[in-house]
Structure 1
Amino acid sequence: MANTYFFTGFPGFIANNLIRHLIRKQEVNHIYLLVLPHMMEKAEQVVQSIANDENISSEQFQLLSGDITQPDLGIEESIQPYLQEQITHVFHLAAIYDLAVPKAIAYNVNVNGTRHVNDWVQKLTALKRYIYFSTAYVSGKRTGKILETELDQGQTFKNHYESTKYEAEVLVDALKEQVPTTIIRPGVVCGDSKTGETIKFDGPYFMLNLFDSLKKFPFIPYIGKSQAYGNFVPVDYIFLATVYLAHAEVSAGRTYHLTDPNPYPMRDVYAMLMEEYLKRMPKGTIPTRVAKAGLSLSYMRKWLRVEKESLDYSRLIAEYDCTQAQQDLKGSGIECPDFKDVAPVMVNFYRENKNNPNYQIHIS
């Protein structure tokens, strides 16, 4: 039986591509897309692109002007009763994804916005599943093995992105007894394992930005001697796994780490990307505290195109256990690709688009 879907976060990269994977894997009746008023024109273009590429009618989509920071998501009151009777699946993707975001902005969108979405989904009479996009880093500064079943462990946080995503997940987790809910915690997102396409050049791409900025230097050192492991996950794995788990009966009420089950040490990732991009290997090591002091200077951050906050993740010694995700994906054919196989495609996409302002994030 065809389902009726509702997405926040459109026309963002994640919503756009998740919808494409959804259309390929599920029978879709209709898709409602919540869009900020100033994004309507772009949303219309993206809908037409999806319809053309996936060979479906654009009439299966409906754009709804709204805002998650408003009660009832700012959706026109006259259409609310109809939506409440029709929608079977809600994907809440809208959030501020920025390690350097100010607290007030992050709190309003990530926490208040999620509170409003939570209130709204409880009014949906046909709801089969509420899928919330969180992050593995709701664990904050915790170290050691981190389980999918854990949330509040008294942790502290590295930035306002983490703390507000944690507070939002606490709100969603509390709904599990009343609403069929699935929480998705991705690791650090990197490019599509086949095309290299990505959302933006952050996370592991900060390393590539660093290499690009220093490529004329006689050598480029490692940063720190941390024994941390990388937690980089190709975006297509996240899409495929999310669509599958959103419809699996067993996943109602569960939280999943969509993380790399076989991660590489950060120093290996650093060397792997440098060799792929510059055909060179790192030489020597600069202490992390020295690198962080340098990135405390605005002109250094802008020149290197690296956020200071990213260094915190390169030395976090944490293991994101994904046993439940691996178990519930068994038999689906969906597996996380080996980062070693993804790196060449990822680097090639970066090389072709490194000067495209649509991919480089603003660094102040």
Structure 2
Amino acid sequence: MSIYMFTGFPGYLATHLIQEISNQKHPIERLYLLHHSSVKKTAEADLRRLIEEGKVNAHDIQLIEGDITLPHMGLVSSVSASLLNEVTHFFHLAALYDLAAPLLPSWKINVDGTRNVLDWLQASTTLQHFIYFSSAFVSGKREGNIYEHELTHNAGFKNHYEYTKYEAERLVQQQLSSLPATVIRPGIVVGHSQTGETMKFDGPYFILNLLHQLKHLPLLPSFGNGKAYINIVPQDYVTSAVTSLAHQPQSIGKTYHLTDPNPHTASDIYRLFTKHYLGRAPNFTLPMPIAKTALSFKTTRRLTGIQKQALAYFTCESRYHQDHALADLREAQITCPNLTSYLPKLIDYYRAHRKNEEKHLALL
């Protein structure tokens, strides 16, 4: 029987990964969810909802209050000692996922938090597998082919999120000789490929926010040359892949790009969005510098939700290879679906929940 522990609950990926693992055939004795005191009420409400909807078993799951930015993850000593002698699988997902976040809070959560988790796990007597959620974008401003075994570079970074996730992954890589670790590098995670369901409209959904504002214009613009590949993956691919890899002994010591093996360019994605959301195609192209200038105005950012830092992903020409992922997920028949097959589901879900997004944007 396995005993699991997660950081990052009640975050989007952690929530769905917990559901995925609970619904698999792997025997679960206990599942501990570490949450920060600031999200206690949300964590309790979300767990209650998961139990009521039958997505997890109430007898198998328990909330634990802690803080990864503190030594021993802020756990009471007796609780810490008990967990260190119980937990077999540890999933570290907690991070500050914000492209516009300043360096210091990003470093405190992403780097110092990961260091504290690693230090705590060194005292474990039962750990069988540590799953660390990094990001494909630790590659920063590197262009061309990016391979799973690569990490160290001096190309620079597009934002503090990338930089701090890079430094955090370096800490994990340094511990591979003493911890049974697997590193997961997802691309840009969107909603479920079958239902379109998501917890937040960010990343590519900013395009839909923009199109919603432009829908009454007689002419529809596109932006820049759009040659860069945008690596989008659905949530269910990531969670099913991680669940499989977490129970494969051969995944220990490896790094996996959970990215799209057949990504689309920024231009193609924009045209797909305009076709499915507006039933139209762009009529002309605006240079990217004009788009960046427009986003310097707070009103534009508020109406679209787009962060200036996001535009760099439309011009950085990187190709992420998935040799490890393709090989080790083949037997489980887990593959990343093509964006064209599930984009209508994403848009339908967005359209149905657009009013909630408008309320969110109004608060920015």
Superposition TM-score tier, normalisation by shorter sequence: over 0.9
In the TM superposition, residue 15 of structure 1 has moved relative to its aligned partner by 1.1
Count of matched residue positions in the alignment of Structure 1 and Structure 2? 363
Which residues in structure 2 correspond to 1:168-183 (within 5 Å)?
Answer: 168-183=168-183
State whether residues 199 and 359 of structure 1, in contact with CA within 8 Å, keep that contact through their aligned partners in structure 2.
Answer: no
TM-superposed CA distance for 1:44, in Å, is 1.9
3-state DSSP class of the match of 1:179? coil
Q: Write the mapping of 1:237-252 to structure 2, written as runs, cut at 5 A.
A: 237-252=237-252
Distance in 2 between residues matched to 1:137 and 1:359, nearest whole Å: 30
1:203 and 2:203 equivalent? yes
> Residue in 2 aligned with 1:162?
162
For the aligned residue pairs, the C-alpha RMSD in angstroms reads 1.6
Supply the AA of the counterpart residue of 2:160. Answer: H
| 1:6 maps to amino acid | M
Partner of 1:314: 314
Structure 1 gaps, min length 5 = none
Q: Aligned partners of 1:362, 1:239: CA distance in 2, in Å?
A: 32
1:265 aligns with 2:293: no
2:4 is the alignment partner of 1:12: no
Cα 1:10/1:167, change in 2 over 3 Å:
same
TM-score, with structure 2 as normaliser: 0.96
SS in 1 for 2:356: coil
Partners of 1:170 and 1:225 lie apart in 2 by 34
Residue identity opposite 1:8 in structure 2: T
What secondary structure is seen at the aligned counterpart in 2 of 1:350?
helix
Aligned to 2:74: 74
1:335 aligns with 2:335: yes
User: Do the aligned residues in 2 keep the contact of 1:196 with 1:349 (CA within 8 Å)?
Assistant: yes
Residues 80-111 of structure 1, C-alpha deviations (whole Å, 9 max, x = no match): 22111110010000001111111111111101
Give the superposition deviation at 1:146: 0.2
- Cα drift, residue 361 of structure 1: 6.5
**Aligned twin of 1:126:** 126
Deviates more, 1:75-84 or 1:14-23: 75-84
What do residues 315-362 of structure 1 show as CA deviations (whole Å, max 9, x unaligned)?
111100111101110110211011001110000111111221499568
- Whether 1:291 aligns to 2:309 is no
Match of 1:276 in 2: 276
The secondary structure found in structure 2 opposite 1:98 is: coil
Task: Please say which of residues 351-360 and 336-345 is displaced more in the overlay.
Answer: 351-360
Q: Which one-letter code corresponds to 2:280 in the other structure? A: R
| Cα shift at 1:363 | 8.3
Given that 2:201 and 2:357 are in contact with CA atoms closer than 8 Å, whether structure 1 keeps it comes out as: no
**Rounded Cα–Cα distance in structure 1 between residues aligned with 2:253 and 2:138:** 18
Q: Is the 8 A contact 2:88 2:128 kept in 1?
A: yes
Could you say what secondary structure the match of 1:247 adopts?
coil
**Alpha-carbon offset, residue 130 of structure 1:** 0.5
Q: 1:361 to 1:329 in 2, by over 3 A?
A: farther
Tell me which amino acid in the other structure corresponds to 2:4.
Y
C-alpha distance 56-265 of structure 1, shift in aligned 2 (>3 A)? closer
Which one-letter code corresponds to 1:124 in the other structure? S
- State the Cα deviation string for residues 41-80 of structure 1 (Å, max 9, x = none): 2222222222333365413212111110010000111122
Amino acid at match of 1:4: I
Equivalence map 1:127-142=2 (5 Å): 127-142=127-142
- 1:305·1:363 contact (CA, 8 Å) conserved in 2? no
